[in-house]
Amino acid sequence: MDETSPNPASRGKVLKRAPSAIVDSAEPTEESKRQKHLEKARALGEKDESEKLLEDLVFGAEDKLVEKLTWKDEVGSSLLEEESSDSEVENEARLEVPAARRAVWDDDDDDEDASADAEVDMTHKYRRDFMKGCRKNSLQAETAAEAPRTVPEGNGWNSIMGRERDDDDDDDEDDDLLRKTGNFVASSESLPKGIIQIKKCLEANNDRLAEGRLTSVQFHPSAQVVMTAGVDQNISLFQVDGKSNPKIQSLHLENFPVHKAQFSADGEQVIATSNYNKLFYVYDMMEGKVIPVYMVRGLNEKKVKEFQVSPDGMFLLLSGTSGYLHLVTMKSKELVRSFKINGEVAGAAFSQDGSRIYVSSDEGEVFIWDLKRNKCLNRFTDDGSLRGTSIAVSKNGQYIACGSSSGVVNVYDHDACLQESNPKPLRAIMNLLTPATSLRFNATTEILAIASNTADEAVRLVHVPSFTVFSNFPVSKRSFLFHPQCLDFSPNSGFLSVANDKGRALLYRLKHYSDF
């Protein structure tokens, strides 16, 4: 018999045990039933884990909630506030308009543009100034577009004068002034005394500084032009814009150091004299010709230096030697008549209508001549003067100013000078300590400029109505004006120019006056 095959006896035993086991599992005993009943009873007293979670959510799990609230109070915040804020954020997020999506590419220029459009608190004083400047620049731009530019008619130099000017965003209220020309007087309130509103500009001849001392500076009677002349034998014309003052033209006179140069009354010619001979030049700007005048018939003078042009444009008054003055026609350059005073001629001036001549002598006397009647109307002694050096007459005919070698400038009433031999000055101005060599009234007779060519910074501006000197001109910690040789106001007092011994024509803007 094979060893692996089961024993029949044992096989029978197995078959007997199997049925009994099956019966025991299918039919539980009373003890097993009782155990199962107890287990179910115990299960009824306990809660399922998921049921506990649901109860906590519905009924709040009071014990645990108290513990949570206590812990939140300790850290300074409440669970209820946290839940409320979360809900408000969610509500605002739902109601908020979605923001524009940001581009993948970020450009710095775009960020600057966006920031420029952002709202800014303009109540800050710096931002108020910024807005004021923006409004001012905008107004100037609109005015520049509307305002016509006026230039004199003709050819040559005045066509150059009409060139376009750059209106920078600089400066200022001066732009309106620089667009106006003409010989009318602007209506404005009276000039206050004490401090004058004045601004230093670029030199009038900055485009071509003179090589040596300037002897003349004068504004054109009707155009926005200034002329300079000096010992470097040059006469130059510049367009006055207060910013660059471009040169229009320069004229070189060979071997002719210019002692004095002056425009004709109509502004179409320039007359120039020198120191050493009686030759003088007439430059016709309309024709572009330089005309030498070698000899005036009947004029017995070795040299011609000082002269004056009559306001009516009819005559040229030449100052000779030994007290002689010679009246020459502007048109034909012929001698009309001669006058003689006591002593040497120290200065001469025309009345505004050209009918009278006022002459100061080196002996301290003043003579008044009537050209129409060829008669000396009066002569008087300048009060306290030992030697006269200069004379000027106001354009309104109200005042006569006389300068002396002591630096004192006496201002007289015109009518008193016509009637009295020893009139008393209205005011003696004693701010100069060296000879008063230059005197000039402005167009409105509100300012008298006085200067001496023998001392640094020797220039003063006198407020004529009160006869007081403006305290803020000149004001400099160092020499800037140097020796002032001559000076002039523009036709309507908008500018003042002072020529010095360094070849510079200093330019100042008088802000009280709105026209050139």
Residue 38 binned pLDDT confidence (cut-offs 50, 70, 90): low
Q: What is the pLDDT of residues 309-328, one digit of tens each?
A: 999 999 999 999 999 999 99
- Res 166 pLDDT > 70: no
Pick the range with the lowest mean pLDDT from 18-22, 194-198, 223-227, 229-233: 18-22
Of 515, 508, 498, the closest CA to residue 443 belongs to 515
Residue 406 in domain: yes
Of 298, 373, 290, the closest CA to residue 334 belongs to 298
The percent of residues in the chain predicted with pLDDT above 70, rounded, is: 64
Residue 344 in domain: yes
Q: Region 231-243: what's the mean pLDDT?
A: 95
Q: What is the pLDDT of residues 329-343, one digit of tens each?
A: 999 999 999 999 999
Higher pLDDT, 59 or 36: 36
Domain span at 453:
174-510
The enclosing domain of 390 has a CATH number of 2.130.10.10
Residue 141 binned pLDDT confidence (cut-offs 50, 70, 90): very low
pLDDT of residue 189: 85
Residue 302 in domain: yes
pTM beyond 0.75: the answer is: no
- Res 126 pLDDT > 60: no
pLDDT of residue 279: 93
Higher pLDDT, 67 or 154: 67
CA distance 201 to 239: 13
- Res 210 pLDDT > 50: yes
Residue 336 in domain: yes
pLDDT of residue 242: 84
Residue 411 in domain: yes
Neighbours of 176 (CB within 10 A): 14
pLDDT of residue 479: 82
Contact (Cβ atoms closer than 8 angstroms) between residue 429 and residue 462: yes
Q: What is the pLDDT of residues 451-509, one digit of tens each?
A: 999 999 999 999 999 999 999 999 877 788 999 999 999 999 999 999 999 999 999 99
Higher pLDDT, 269 or 119: 269
Contact (Cβ atoms closer than 8 angstroms) between residue 228 and residue 505: yes
pLDDT of residue 32: 74
CA distance 361 to 370: 17
Q: What is the pLDDT of residues 342-361, one digit of tens each?
A: 999 999 999 999 999 999 99
pLDDT of residue 297: 85
pLDDT of residue 478: 78
CA distance 258 to 229: 6
- Res 265 pLDDT > 90: yes
| Residues listed for the chain | 516
Pick the range with the lowest mean pLDDT from 27-36, 261-270, 430-439, 443-452: 27-36
Q: Mean pLDDT over all residues of the chain?
A: 78
Residue 124 binned pLDDT confidence (cut-offs 50, 70, 90): very low
End-to-end CA distance of the chain: 150
CA distance 396 to 375: 22
Strand order of the β-sheet with 365-370 is: 345-350, 356-361, 365-370, 375-381
- Res 176 pLDDT > 80: no
- Res 116 pLDDT > 50: no
Residue 459 in domain: yes
pLDDT of residue 335: 95
CA distance 143 to 360: 48
Mapping DSSP to helix (H, G, I), strand (E, B) and coil, where does residue 94 land? helix
Q: Evaluate the omega torsion of the peptide bond into residue 474 and state whether it is cis, within 30 degrees of 0.
A: yes
Residue 414 in domain: yes
Tell me how many domains the chain contains: 1
Q: What is the pLDDT of residues 268-281, one digit of tens each?
A: 999 999 998 889 99
- Res 192 pLDDT > 80: yes
- Res 184 pLDDT > 70: no
Residue 134 binned pLDDT confidence (cut-offs 50, 70, 90): very low
Q: What is the pLDDT of residues 371-397, one digit of tens each?
A: 999 999 999 999 999 999 999 999 999
- Res 173 pLDDT > 90: no
Of 455, 445, 449, the closest CA to residue 429 belongs to 449
- Res 108 pLDDT > 50: no
Please give the backbone phi and psi of residue 44, each rounded to the nearest 5 degrees, phi first. -70, -25
Pick the range with the lowest mean pLDDT from 19-28, 41-50, 297-306: 19-28
pLDDT of residue 36: 72
